[in-house]
């Protein structure tokens, strides 16, 4: 079988993930589900444990040395996110619980003020529910209309439709950077530029959850007004994410949650809020998780984003070639520009059955609609089986997947 040479020490990297050598149903484990949640390497786990054991206290609230040092570590993590996204200011980085909360924050704190009856919200046909449902709730409340950017059978946005669908009433362009189902890497910069050429006043809200494990976004270069992502997608912990927003937009937005830590003063008559980013961060923050996300960014930076992207692309090409050769297997999403995600269907086999058989063979994948039911309907499938590859995967993982798929087809077709 083919062996790919990684542009980093792959064996050393794999040693950072003890799960990868843990038996699973009595077989070797092949973790091919990083699109749902990336695994945390030992340095991230150890950094969070160190905080819990030796640095733990609250932040922004104490004069003690311990509290001040915890605050420094917490804000250093915010600075790492700022650098990662190339945001212009720390004030533009808001901590959230993840992409979903970030998108809801924008829909509620910006949308409720700026979207009016008769306005339009433009989303792509490949959006995750997290970038659909908040806008639906807002549209229902305000009397706005949702429009949908169509896609091709291969899973690419029809760019010419932007000219037709963007109007003077378009207030929001909601777009995933990378499809969690198709793997398509959307030309976000071009799409935003086309949309704003038609209506300079719309805001571009980008779901970056599936992009950040594979590439380093530059929000200024993209022209994004808001960019959301989750820590657990890029080898960090769950329960932490970030929202980038242009400073002028964030300053004009009212707070979304209310409570401690985001106020300047409280009286029965009136509450005065602190400035950015704190006015959107009510309550005790996810301190350990933020520090863990910062450690994950350090880990990825040390590997090298270009090296990660190149290796994952090579894995994707190898897996695509091997899976495409299997009779009865059809890949859903064949755009030329893809991240390392492959969704497929097997003739005469429900994806849930395929996922269960693969599970017993030690292959961890995802089966279902992947929180993208409108996309499933567009692609004329009820669900897919999805394999997603990360920088710690190998061609052995791909070969094990192919063998398990062959076994699945044999079970159903003899």
Active site residues: 371
Q: Measured between alpha carbons, how far is 27 from 29 in angstroms, rounded to an integer?
A: 6
Residue with tokens 């499933």: 376
Lookup: tokens for 13: 């990297």
Lookup: tokens for 204: 């571009």
Beta carbons of 242 and 229 less than 8 angstroms apart: yes
Q: Measured between alpha carbons, how far is 343 from 333 in angstroms, rounded to an integer?
A: 7
Contacts of 298 (CB under 8 A, 6+ apart): 43, 80
Q: What is each CA distance from 382 to 6, 313, 343, 345, in whole angstroms?
A: 36, 27, 12, 10
Angle at CA of residue 147, ends 145 and 150, nearest 5°: 170
Contacts of 158 (CB under 8 A, 6+ apart): 149, 150, 151, 152
Lookup: tokens for 279: 């006015």
Residue 285: burial class (beta carbons within 10 Å; 0-12, 13-18, 19+): middle
How does 198-218 read in b/e, with b if 16+ C-beta sit within 10 Å? ebeebbbbbbbbbbbbbbbbe
Q: Measured between alpha carbons, how far is 74 from 364 in angstroms, rounded to an integer?
A: 33
Q: Measured between alpha carbons, how far is 68 from 59 in angstroms, rounded to an integer?
A: 7
Helical (H) or strand (E) element with 136: helix 133-142
Q: Measured between alpha carbons, how far is 367 from 381 in angstroms, rounded to an integer?
A: 12
Helical (H) or strand (E) element with 345: strand 341-346
Among 67, 394, 95, 405, smallest CA distance to 236 is for 95
Helical (H) or strand (E) element with 12: helix 10-15
């Amino acid at each position: 079988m083919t062996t790919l040479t990684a542009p980093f020490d792959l064996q050393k990297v794999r040693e950072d993930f003890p799960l990868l050598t843990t038996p699973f149903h009595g077989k070797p484990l092949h973790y091919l589900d990083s699109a749902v949640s990336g695994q945390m390497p030992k340095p991230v786990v150890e950094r969070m444990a160190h905080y819990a054991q030796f640095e733990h206290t609250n932040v922004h609230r104490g004069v003690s040395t311990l509290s001040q040092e915890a605050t420094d570590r917490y804000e250093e993590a915010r600075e790492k996110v700022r650098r990662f996204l190339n945001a212009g200011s720390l004030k533009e980085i808001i901590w959230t619980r993840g992409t979903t909360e970030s998108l809801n924050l924008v829909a509620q704190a910006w949308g409720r003020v700026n979207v009016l009856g008769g306005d339009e919200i433009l989303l792509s046909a490949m959006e995750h529910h997290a970038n659909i449902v908040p806008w639906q709730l807002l549209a229902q409340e305000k009397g706005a209309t949702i429009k949908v950017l169509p896609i091709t059978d291969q899973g690419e946005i029809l760019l010419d439709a932007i000219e037709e669908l963007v109007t003077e009433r378009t207030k929001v362009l909601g777009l995933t950077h990378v499809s969690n189902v198709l793997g398509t890497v959307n030309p976000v910069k071009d799409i935003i530029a086309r949309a704003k050429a038609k209506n300079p006043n719309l805001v571009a809200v980008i779901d970056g959850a599936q992009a950040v494990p594979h590439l380093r976004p530059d929000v200024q270069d993209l022209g994004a007004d808001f960019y959301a992502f989750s820590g657990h997608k890029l080898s960090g912990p769950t329960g932490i994410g970030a929202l980038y927003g242009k400073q002028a937009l964030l300053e004009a937005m009212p707070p979304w949650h209310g409570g401690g830590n985001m106020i300047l003063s409280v009286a029965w008559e009136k509450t005065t809020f602190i400035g950015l980013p704190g006015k959107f961060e009510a309550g005790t923050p996810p301190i350990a998780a933020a520090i863990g996300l910062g450690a994950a960014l350090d880990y990825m930076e040390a590997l090298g984003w270009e090296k990660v992207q190149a290796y994952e692309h090579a894995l994707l090409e190898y897996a695509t070639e091997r899976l495409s050769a299997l009779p009865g297997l059809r890949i859903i999403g064949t755009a030329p520009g893809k991240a390392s995600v492959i969704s497929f269907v097997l003739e005469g086999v429900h994806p849930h059955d395929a996922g269960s058989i693969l599970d017993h063979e030690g292959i961890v994948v995802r089966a279902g609609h992947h929180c993208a039911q409108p996309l499933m309907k567009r692609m004329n499938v009820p669900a897919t089986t999805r394999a997603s590859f990360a920088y710690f995967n190998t061609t052995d993982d791909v070969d094990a997947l192919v063998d398990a798929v062959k076994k699945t087809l044999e079970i159903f077709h003899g």
